[in-house]
Amino acid sequence: MGRPRILALAGSTRAESFNRKLLRIAVAAAEGAGAEVAVLDLKDFALPLYDGDDEAAHGLPEPAIRLRAAIRAHDGLLIAAPEYNGGLSAVLKNALDWTSRAHAGEPQLAVFAGKAAALLSASITAYGGVRSLIQLRAVLTAMRVLVLPEQFALPLAAQAFGPDGALTNPRQQANVTDLAGRFVALLARLKGGS
């Protein structure tokens, strides 16, 4: 069956985003748990704002087709979702909207069939981005993605990372490692592994 294949992405395009830093920790933990992980940068997929009229006239833009192919090639999605004004980032929601569309004779949501996801968030607020995770969970569930019940929200992210990129709080570091391990185990079960 092979190792579980995970596509990891942050819903922020900022180079030094706290969610990118948190994602790196989760990626390392998922690899340590036996997964093969590819990290995707949404900045490499310059998508226009979703426009149904434009889609009807021209079909999916090339970046959306590439992003769909990346999603299709993996068993699950590991997503670090920033919280902007209490909700999802526009770049993440737009990417999900474009990739959910029908293409090349396939129905809508075809690339998400059988996929699972694990969610994390980091925020400078005391909430840790949990409000964006609530919205993202609802969106992914509507897209028929199986979302791991556990999630991780990192509050006060500006003070949470050490110089080595790890979380300074050992309990938080362990929670991210545990989340990644649970996700890899779920994907292995879904693939029919042990």
Do 118 and 151 meet the contact criterion of CB atoms below 8 Å apart?
yes
CATH placement of domain 5-190: 3.40.50.360
Ranges assigned E (strand) in the chain: 5-10, 36-40, 76-80, 116-122, 146-154
Distance CA 192, CA 194 (A): 7
Summarised one tens digit per residue, pLDDT across range 25-83 is: 999 999 999 999 999 999 999 999 999 999 999 999 999 999 999 999 999 999 999 99
Give me the amino acid identity at 181. Answer: G
Instruction: Using DSSP, state whether 75 is helix, strand or coil.
Output: coil
The answer, yes or no, to whether residue 19 has pLDDT greater than 60, is yes
Find how far residue 161's CA is from the centre of its chain: 20
Helix (H) / strand (E) element for 76: namely strand 76-80
Enter the pTM of the model: 0.95
